[in-house]
Amino acid sequence: MRAVSVLIEGTYQNVARSFATPWLVSRWAIVVGILASVISILGSWIPSYWSDEVATLRASRLSWPELFAFVGHKDAVHTGYYSVMKLWVGVFGESELSTRSLSALAVGAGAAGLVVLVRSIGGLRIGIVAGIIFAILPRTTYMGIEARSFALSAAVAVWATLMLLLAARRRSWPWWIVYTLTVVAGTYLFLYSVLLLAVHALVLLLSHHTRGVLVRWVIAAVAAVAACLPILVVSVQQKEQIAWLSDQPVVNAWTILVEPAFDSSWPVAAIAWIAVVILVVRRRSVPAGPFRLAAAWVVVPLVLLFVADVAIGPLYTARYLSFTVPGMAILLALAFTRTPRNSVTWLLVGAVAVAGVPTYLAQRGPVAKNGGSDLAQIADYIHSHASPGDAIYLQDSGSVTLRPRQALYAYPHQFAGVIDIAFIAPFTVTGTFSDTTTAWEDMGPELAGVDRIWVVMAGTSVTDAETVLLPLGYVEGPPHETNRSVIAVYEREPGQR
């Protein structure tokens, strides 16, 4: 049987020829990768942490036995990422710049990999454009400053797909082993990345590969799924942790057509989908291989996740599809390079960049995260105004993303010297990201000997605190409002001490 060295004539170019000038490809990949990382990392230190990033910080502070025990109860889908972040934080610290820079570097790795990947199936020009578009898409610039797993899983998705092409080109098993390990790594970083296997299966089938290649892929895919069974099983058991999705309007035109690749930027989404529609209409003039790969990368995970959401419960939210953004970048690169004039191509890329500027800047505001996370504002105010020995009470009820107590976990050094009077037991005991704390109505013995207490509540009211503290002789000082919380200080009158 003829050795498989090409991906069907007329569909994929000869891969060996694609790598005939590896130094040129490498140079462009490095340049685009560095550019992508810089675009993402700029301003990454400005926004306050929000609750999901706080979860990353708290997990990274655990010992290894504590971490693996904890993910057995919560957040198993991020096991690999928490492990990586534990090592990263141990070396570079917990600042916003430090923790988010890992994601920015991952964006660079993804962009560089995209140049190499697309070069191997469509040419260097399309590859460079795809890498740059990936770097400037609003979803990329968001996940590039997020201390979560999405940027890393997107980068691994790119390299796993490149490993697939290399493995299909060569008959030696080592490439298939590398492919398998890369898919496993992506799945442990973020569980939904396993959907990439369905993309790869469709691409191979549409390319009419020989039976030998398909058999090798099936063996590699089965091995990858087997290696991921522990996390798959545990994650299914933890399905209730995303039950909140049932109360959200998470499946609609906006969350399907805009948010997955374009975050909140409807101008970029409009440009992109117009370009994609034109590309589909003129698909006969488009290289079939890159188009099939990109279309499958965007559509297949979306459809599978939507079907699963309908069939077995709430599973869909747009950012879970971050690993499909490289596919959208390839589609746009194909659309923008249909013109032979480079000036027109880069004018279109520039239009995407300009249209995305408002979203890019908004993503990097002080309270940009999660609709206005003010954890840094809370921590800074307490650090500036509280004295050693003062007590603090930070609300730990209501929506997790709005709880002021998250500030204590996000910036623990800002609370050094004050007394957390509500604390009973750490989150590792509860098996969730919430400590066991004393409710306001039970706050009595804890206040003995407390002359001054800082109370932080979500919203603009501290009524719950007043009903407990004022009868005990405390006097309220002038309240201070942060973006979505209120901070009030209460002191006992001298005669009540």
| pLDDT tens per residue, range 282-327 | 877 788 889 999 999 999 999 998 888 777 777 788 889 999 999 9
What CATH number belongs to 374-496?
A: 3.40.50
Q: Which has more pLDDT, 188 or 442?
A: 188
Cβ contact 280:298 at 8 Å = no
With cut-offs at 50, 70 and 90, classify the pLDDT of residue 428: confident
Counting other chains too, the contacts that 238-241 makes at CB distance below 8 Å and 24 or more residues apart are 238/73, 238/74, 238/75, 238/76, 238/77, 239/313, 241/74, 241/75
Paired sense of beta strands 485-492 and 474-476, if any: antiparallel
**pLDDT, tens only, 458-483:** 987 777 788 888 888 889 888 999 99
Q: 456 has which bridge partners?
A: 394, 487
pTM of the model: 0.91
Spatial distance between the Cα atoms of 129 and 126, rounded to a whole number of angstroms: 5
The two most distant CA atoms of the chain are separated, in Å, by: 96
Please report the beta strands in 6-102, taking only residues with DSSP state E, as ranges in sequence order: none
Cβ contact 165:51 at 8 Å = no
Closest by Cα among 447, 449, 382 to 421 = 447
Three state DSSP letters for 167-230: HHHCCCHHHHHHHHHHHHHHHHHCHHHHHHHHHHHHHHHHCCCCHHHHHHHHHHHHHHHHHHHH
Helix or strand holding residue 383 (H, E): helix 375-385
Domain boundaries, the chain: 15-367, 374-496
Spatial distance between the Cα atoms of 466 and 474, rounded to a whole number of angstroms: 9
What's the token pair of residue 70?
Answer: 């904890």
Spatial distance between the Cα atoms of 497 and 486, rounded to a whole number of angstroms: 26
**pLDDT, tens only, 321-357:** 999 999 999 999 999 998 888 899 999 999 999 999 9
Three-class secondary structure of residue 490 per DSSP: strand
